[in-house]
Amino acid sequence: MSDFLKMTSGAPEGFFEGLEGKALSPGWAKKKPQMWPEPRSRYVPAVWRYADARAALDQACNFVSPEQAERRNLILVNPIEDNIYPTCRHLVGAYQLVLPGETARSHRHSPNALRLVLDAGSETFTIVNGVKVDVAEGDVVLTPSWHWHGHSNFGDEPAFWLDFLDVPLVQNLESMFFENHPERDESVASHEPDSPLRHKGVDLVAGMRERGTVEIAPEGLKTIGLHAIGLTQGQSHGSERRIDNNIYVVTAGEVRINVENLGALTLERGDVVVVPCWHEYNIEGCSSWSQLVRVTDEPVMKALGFVNVMQS
Ligand SMILES: [Fe+2]
């Protein structure tokens, strides 16, 4: 006799059908377990290449109009069945291209967001709550929850960046709000090249050269943690299995990654790897100097009091 039959035997005829009609389910005969001994990630480790995304975005310019510039992006969709959006459980990333002369329309949303600038010429900027914030290669620019933001490229070079947002988390929490700016493009009230929302690439490099790892804007976003990590040749960064989800972007040089259930791969500038929770990983510098930015949902886990129980 199967376990299910054992657990359901002895019930009067029609008992379980009756429960179904009342939206009740017997806890002693669950169809699937609802707790398990340690984390199980629905998402898998995966890699995205900047060269692939850049080539596809260049092509997309031929048919995605400047009017749709804010949506001319390529989402890093975790390659599991039936997934159309998240990169991992709580975060999503996307490569975006804004061409010279284009403005991506202003909007605001409850999800927190940030941009990591891969390539940009002069006169590229973001307007956050009316403040014009210049951006340059290697910069990290924060747009916390419910801050208006729009992006312009008034220079001569195409601007490529990576967006990261906590949209999947906000969807799970069912606390989504979104609004387009009533004027399409928010007007500039002031100019702050040194805005606290901007973390300049040059400053991050100086910090990494001095200290190896730099925590970018602690508490800057309540749900997303950011670190800049510098590696000399042969130097390693990694972790045993952990409960948070981590995305790494190479911002300089070349690294060799080795991730449980993915294997060993070499990544170059602009490439991305996602390491969902409970996957051991190691990243080793292959160039004389390489740099990474780590994007993590660790602040969510800490704020909620979840820790690596197995290691505590
Ligand atoms: Fe946005």
Distance 33 CA to ligand 1 centre (A): 38
Distance 117 CA to ligand 1 centre (A): 15
Distance 52 CA to ligand 1 centre (A): 23
- Provide mean pLDDT across the span 4-29: 87
CA distance linking residue 114 with residue 297, whole number of Å: 13
Residue 162 and residue 95 in contact, taking contact as beta carbons nearer than 8 Å = yes
The pLDDT assigned to 233 comes to 98
Distance 147 CA to ligand 1 centre (A): 9
Arithmetic mean of pLDDT over the chain:
94
Distance 91 CA to ligand 1 centre (A): 14
Over residues 41-95, the pLDDT tens digits come to 999 999 999 999 999 999 999 998 877 777 789 999 999 999 999 999 999 999 9
Every domain of the chain and the residues it spans: 46-311
Distance 82 CA to ligand 1 centre (A): 25
Class for the domain spanning 46-311: mainly beta
The pLDDT assigned to 288 comes to 98
Residue 159 and residue 192 in contact, taking contact as beta carbons nearer than 8 Å = no
- Provide mean pLDDT across the span 234-241: 96
0.85 surpassed by pTM: yes
Distance 149 CA to ligand 1 centre (A): 6
Which residue has tokens 């399409």?
A: 184
Over residues 180-218, the pLDDT tens digits come to 999 988 889 899 989 999 999 999 999 999 999 999 999
Over residues 139-149, the pLDDT tens digits come to 999 999 999 99
CA distance linking residue 131 with residue 192, whole number of Å: 6
CA distance linking residue 11 with residue 28, whole number of Å: 12
CA distance linking residue 121 with residue 233, whole number of Å: 30
Residue 178 burial (CB count, 10 A): 12
The pLDDT assigned to 148 comes to 97
CA distance linking residue 199 with residue 266, whole number of Å: 27
The pLDDT assigned to 50 comes to 98
